[in-house]
Amino acid sequence: MTGKTVFEAKYGFARKDVRLETWRLSPFNRWSFQNVGELVPSAHVAAAPGGEEQAKSLGGLLEEKVSLPGGSETVESFLKRSDTDGLTILKAGKLTGDWSAPHMPFGARHIIFSISKSVTAILAGILEGEGIFDPNAPVTQYIPEAKGSAYGDASVRNVLDMTVSLDFEEAYLDPESAFARYRRSTLWNPGGGSESLAAFLMTIQRLGEPHGQTFRYRSPNSDVLGILVERASGKRVSQLLSEKLWQPLGAASEMSVTVDMEGTARTAGGMSMTPRDLARIGEMMRQGGTANGRRVVPEAWVRDTVATGGSFEAWQRGTMAFLFPKGRYRNKWYQTGHDSGAFCGIGIHGQWLYVNPKTEVVIAKMSSQPEPVDDKLDEDIVAFLKALSGMV
């Protein structure tokens, strides 16, 4: 059997069919989401020293039933229905188990899309704790060339909380939109390489509404955040990730982040890592900013991020309040408003990092959903994660 035949037998398509114009489409995303570095230039962050990890089965949990808005189904059935590629569950810091789809080997890295925003915000929190990053400063304090753009009179806090009054739409599927130009600048779409990500970001204009009033989910804010932490620290994002997060976290596998023509990291959505390491980030946040007995990010920052900070009013004015009616958004993390105090990071195509402090459960779910955004499925996933966190 030839290599080509092996690939096609496993994935149902040929490797040559996965290109920049197809890599986010189904069924190609079942492979490309684990191999982004073959398609988009990427910077790599080495793992902490240590041995290889072994998969642990979820056993009988897969056959247990969960109650969802549309009825009950088994855990495994829902994982398959929601196009899950990999899942890891931790309970009180200990591994409950893993689940992988046939096309995702255990230990493979997978793109986490917008959970990258949440990870980048952790870097901002670390730098804030070191006294070299001010969340209340104007953006222009760090990026003077932002003057004249939507960020010219915005604060870093506006950037962190998605309350920049930005004239920009997340038009994922429109090839003629400003969003498509944005993706070309990140080298995620064909035709890139003539405009850098930073140059594009500085062209976005603002709306008439004052900053700070409305939660507007706009990914460019989080790429601006990546530039902000680089300017404040004098270090590249990949270096910050290694020194400030990945090594202290005790991450077991290499991670990566896509970069543009100038090496600027796509901090809004370009990070890839294993489900285990993503779960480690959630556990660090559950532990108030510590990992392996070592403080990674200030406890006060974590508490503000996942429990006390953020504007309920700004969240209610946004378009995602249906998902968490009592929720808030702070430092690129979602507070669910649930009695459990659960919080999460979310990425398109079904990426979730869900933390339930009450049950001490962390769930990392990586997926290759066909649609970037599926509101009905998201509601089912929230119900599923909430139920699952009470079952382990």
Q: Which residues participate in catalysis according to the annotation?
A: 114
DSSP string, 283-331: HHHHTTSEETTEE-S-HHHHHIIIII-S-HHHHHHSS-TTT-TT-EEET
- Nearest alpha carbon to residue 222 among 160, 135, 150, 157: 160
How many angstroms separate the CA atoms of 211 and 194, rounded? 31
For 121-124, which contacts have Cβ atoms below 8 Å and span 24 or more sequence positions?
Answer: 121/160, 121/225, 121/305, 121/331, 121/332, 121/333, 122/245, 122/281, 122/285, 122/296, 122/297, 123/229, 123/237, 123/240, 123/241, 123/244, 123/245, 124/160, 124/225, 124/228, 124/229, 124/331
